[in-house]
Amino acid sequence: EAQVTQNPRYLITVTGKKLTVTCSQNMNHEYMSWYRQDPGLGLRQIYYSMNVEVTDKGDVPEGYKVSRKEKRNFPLILESPSPNQTSLYFCASSLFPGGTEAFFGQGTRLTVV
């Protein structure tokens, strides 16, 4: 079954404690990205990756890092989380850019206290 898997689904952490949200896809997609969803703002892109070792900033990259060492995995790293990063996070992948369907993970609800 084609899917994007994120872990964990829920996470509560304290300010400043490094965390990683994992994302894996089984569709051999080249393009992957991370979004955060906040009330009244819709989804906003954090980072994206065109292929292995190719990553770039989206609209709201501050406070986040990513890596793409393998095609299937695209982890999101928060080195020093702050309360304003409390949000619902989604990983997405698609075969290639422009007009194609994006497949989304189930989301990770992060609370930073």
Contact call for residue 45 and other proteins (CB under 8 A): yes
Q: Which amino acid is at 23?
A: C
Please choose, out of 13-21, 66-74, 76-84, 99-107, the segment that lies near other proteins by the rule CB under 8 A. Answer: 99-107
Backbone φ and ψ of 72, nearest 5°: -80, -20
**Residues 6 or more apart whose Cβ sits within 8 Å of residue 30:** 50, 51, 71, 95, 96
Rule CB under 8 A: say whether 92 interacts with other proteins. Answer: yes
Residues that bind other proteins (CB under 8 A): 4, 31, 33, 35, 40-45, 48, 50, 56, 58-59, 90, 92, 94, 96-102, 104-107
